[in-house]
Amino acid sequence: MKLREDEVRIPAPDCAIRTIVVRPVGVEPLPGVLLYTDIFQLTESTLRTVRRLASYGFVVAVPEIYPRTELAGVALEFDDAGKAAGLAGAAATTTAHFDTDRVAVLDHLAQRPDVTTLYVTGFCIGGHLAFRAAFDPRVAATVCFYPTGLHSGSLGADDPGSLARAADITGRMLIVFGSADPHVPADARLRTISALYAAGKDDVELHVYSGGEHAFMRDVGPRHDPVLTDLALTEAVSFFTGR
């Protein structure tokens, strides 16, 4: 599968969001996917995942999540300094800014002539951002990979109250966790799914992969599990395409 990769600047009210768009070569319209990164932004590891997803027949747009800070244009390293910078970027970003940026990127995808249906996915903090993107009625399906902060009301500079808005989700949703994830342990997973059920979202699909650590899909470092990664990505594609 040959891919085309472009960098675009998507206008938001007070910034331009650097975004990489990857799609199969061709002119036929395809489903569009807004993909949110983890705190390290547009790393080569994430872009490898983006390319894999696009090769299944999607137009994938992956924006920077910190376009207003000094991290704009920066892909962070997977080390202590990179982690600290990524967490600081999150702490400096309000829920309102995250939401504004989401609308801008979804608008961009919706207006592209090569995009049909809108889907969303994301990893870690990006899984939480994907959850919030599911509030947009244009989003037909969402896959959240080990979303952090849903159970605790933690996202950026303020409490986003995401779980309290679970009833606003209109599309289909799949959530993927690893059983050995210290950021989303069993009680946190239970709180998340219980809130969804209480909001009437009892058709949410939940996958908990035995032994999966946090960020098990990141293909750098000792937490990476290639087998679980392939399973999770295959399930996500199947879920998006309606099986």
Catalytic residue numbers, as ranges: 124, 181, 214
DSSP state, residue 76: P
| Cβ-proximal residues to 40 (8 Å cutoff; 6+ apart), any chain | 46, 75, 76, 77, 78, 82, 83, 86
| Cβ-proximal residues to 176 (8 Å cutoff; 6+ apart), any chain | 143, 144, 145, 146, 207, 208, 209, 232, 235, 236
Rounded to a whole number of angstroms, the CA Rg of the chain reads 16
3-state secondary structure (DSSP) of residue 84: helix
| Cβ-proximal residues to 243 (8 Å cutoff; 6+ apart), any chain | none
